[in-house]
Amino acid sequence: MKFSDYPFNADIKFNLEKLGFKKPTDIQYKSIPPILRGEDVLAIAQTGTGKTAAFAIPIIHKIHQDKASKRTDFIKCIVMVPTHELALQVNEVFEKIAQKTRVKTLCIFGGVEQTEQIKSLYKGVDIVIATPGRMFDLQHQGVLDLTRIEILVLDEADHMLDVGFIKDIRDMQRFLPKKRQTLFFSATIDEKIKKLAYSLVSNAIRIQISPKDPVSKNVQHAVAFIEMDDKRFFLERIINTHKDKKMLVFVRTKVRAERVAKAMERADIDTLTMHSDKVHQERINVLEQFKQGKTKVLIATDINARGIDIPNVDMVINYDLPDEAENYVHRVGRTGRGTKKGQAISFCSKEEQATLKKIETFLHQPVTILDLEKEDYMETISFSKETMANENLKDLLKEVEMFEQSKKKKKK
């Protein structure tokens, strides 16, 4: 079935065609009909399968049709997401699909002044994409009315629980109408998520797209055993070998992100960093530069593994293995999205081998090992610009020392 075969508004069909949407993915094919019928949906699907469009397309169509027959001046849909990067990206999908329709969307999140967001709410919008913190701020101020919401969407629900929003989500139920449509989208499901999901949905259609391998078939992923202090040399080599590739490098902490960036700078490699110490505008600028390919390498922490959805990321490098095995899937899922092919390489030191075992247990299979010959390993370190610079410095210091000694001898 093609998107042109669905009973969507002509403008929506035109927008989908312009965006290159021809046939629905599995999650879209299974989610769109029940959403159009007004049923609750609990959908579980791996990252990169087109979850956002799976709920955005039918929601926009429904609201557009409703506005044709009746005048509405209230918010009809709230989409809750865990991070403001994800909020912006989900909003972008909604805006592109809703072009020239009667549907107005608004993205609200913290870390920025709320004045403009409040003005937009007063002007009237149909769909609000929001992070929980700012949403509750505006709701408590009486600016955001949740009592007439017709559709509630929880996107990346598992990550929302990870970052501590479970109490907020439960509290929100007090303000929502009992009669509503609830759509619950998540990459993984466990007992805690099940419990929350079933407290929110009513007789939900459960959709689970879960292949044996949780990593997309479009992603080739492997691991190389590299000592912690040598990782920067191998990252330098990969970047220099694939200069035309767009790369996303994941590290464990924000301090480490800056250190790795400095190491690359010493090797004459331009990089960008993304982590929680960056203010909102900095993060937006970084993402824009990376999206446009002005800088090919972005170094990020795990907090961004769910929030970054950038087209044509060719490679993911796990410079550090993630603390949580599940995050491995989210990281490598930043490449090979949709129908594109991608590659992911993980660096594993002796200290991280226990973490690798956890990841393999989570995947239910071993990760392919990249064999590094000892000669190759040593060559990578020897030919690093940073190593060469250090050696040149040592040689220079030796020359200075010899010069000083010869001066002393002459004086004698």
Which has the higher per-residue pLDDT, 163 or 110?
Answer: 110
- Give residue 22's identity as a one-letter amino acid code: K
Residue reference for tokens 């004086």: 411
- Give yes or no for residue 211 having a pLDDT over 70: no
Mean pLDDT of 323-332: 87
Q: Give the contacts of 324 (CB within 8 A, at least 6 positions apart).
A: 302
* 3-209 under CATH 3.30.360.10, yes or no: no
Which CATH architecture fits 219-391?
3-Layer(aba) Sandwich (3.40)
Residues 125-176 pLDDT 10s? 999 999 988 998 999 899 999 989 999 999 988 777 766 677 777 778 888 8
How much is the pLDDT for 86?
Answer: 87
Local confidence band at 311 (pLDDT 50, 70, 90 cut-offs): confident
Query: How far is Cα 404 from Cα 108, in angstroms, rounded to an integer?
Result: 65
Mean pLDDT of 332-357: 92
Mean pLDDT of 32-56: 90
Residue reference for tokens 């129908």: 339
Give which of 61, 64, 65 is closest to 8, Cα–Cα. Answer: 61
How much is the pLDDT for 210?
Answer: 66
- Give yes or no for residue 393 having a pLDDT over 50: no
Mean pLDDT of 338-361: 93
Per the document, the length of the chain is 412
- Sign of the torsion formed by the C-alpha atoms of 15, 18, 22 and 24: negative
How much is the pLDDT for 82?
Answer: 86
| Spans of all domains in the chain | 3-209, 219-391
Give which of 375, 146, 182, 342 is closest to 247, Cα–Cα. Answer: 342
- Give yes or no for residue 305 having a pLDDT over 90: no
Establish how many alpha carbons lie within 13 A of residue 96's alpha carbon, considering only the half-sphere containing its beta carbon.
14
Q: For residue 65, give both structure tokens.
A: 């049709």
- Give yes or no for residue 405 having a pLDDT over 70: no
How much is the pLDDT for 29?
Answer: 95
Domains 3-209 and 219-391 share a fold: yes
- Give yes or no for residue 236 having a pLDDT over 90: yes
Which has the higher per-residue pLDDT, 317 or 203?
Answer: 317
Local confidence band at 388 (pLDDT 50, 70, 90 cut-offs): low
354-355-359-360 Cα dihedral, nearest 10 degrees: -20
Query: How far is Cα 303 from Cα 246, in angstroms, rounded to an integer?
Result: 20
Average model confidence (pLDDT) across the chain: 87
- Give yes or no for residue 111 having a pLDDT over 90: no
Q: Give the contacts of 376 (CB within 8 A, at least 6 positions apart).
A: none
| Distances from the Cα of 58 to the Cα of 31, 79, 109, 130, angstroms | 9, 14, 24, 19
